[in-house]
Amino acid sequence: MLKISETDEIIFTPELLVKFNEILLRYPEDRQKSALLPILHLVQAEYGWVSSPLMDKVADFLQLKPIEVYEVATFYSMFFLKPPGKYMLEVCRTGPCCLVGAEKIMKHIEEKLNVKEGEVTADGLFSWRGVECLAACGMGPVLQIAPEYTFYENLTAASVDELIDRLRLTTAEKAQIIL
Partner 1 sequence: MGRKLLLENINVPGINSFEVYRKHGGYRAVEKALKTMSTEDVVEEVKKSGLRGRGGAGFPTGMKWSFLAKPEGKPRYLVCNADESEPGTFKDRYLMTHIPHLLIEGMIVASYALGAKTSYIYVRGEMMPQIRILERAIAEAKAEGFLGKNILGTGYDLELYVQPGGGAYICGEETALIESLEGKRGNPRIKPPFPAISGLYNCPTVVNNVESIAAVVPIINDGAEEYAKLGIGRSTGTKLISASGNIKNPGVYEIELGVPVEEFIYSDEYCGGMANGKRLKAVVAGGSSVPILPANLILKLTTGENRLMSYESLAEGAFASGTMMGSGGFVVFDEDQCIVRNTWNFSRFYHHESCGQCSPCREGTGWMEKVLHRLEYGHGKLSDLDLLVDVAKKIEGNTICPLGDAAAWPVASAIRHFRDEFEWHVSHAEEAMGRNYGLAHYADPLPKAETIAAN
Q: Which residues are annotated as a binding site for [2Fe-2S] cluster?
A: 92, 97, 133, 137
| Cβ contacts of 143 within 8 Å, gap of 6 or more | 89, 90, 91, 92, 105, 151, 152, 155, 160
Candidate list 5, 7, 34, 52; residue touching partner 1; CB under 8 A = 34
Region binding partner 1 by CB under 8 A among candidate stretches 13-21, 74-82, 110-118, 164-172: 74-82
Q: Whole-angstrom Cα distance, residue 55 to residue 125?
A: 24
Interface residue with partner 1, options 10, 16, 24, 37 (CB under 8 A): 37
Q: How far apart are CA 44 and CA 16, in angstroms?
A: 12
Single-letter amino acid code for the residue at 128 = W
Of 13-21, 76-84, 119-127, 160-168, which part binds partner 1 (CB under 8 A)? 76-84
Pairwise CA distance, residues 18 & 35, whole Å: 13
Which spans of this chain sit near partner 1 (rule: CB under 8 A)?
Answer: 26, 28, 31, 33-38, 40-41, 62, 68, 71-72, 75-79, 93-96, 98-100, 131-140, 144, 148-151
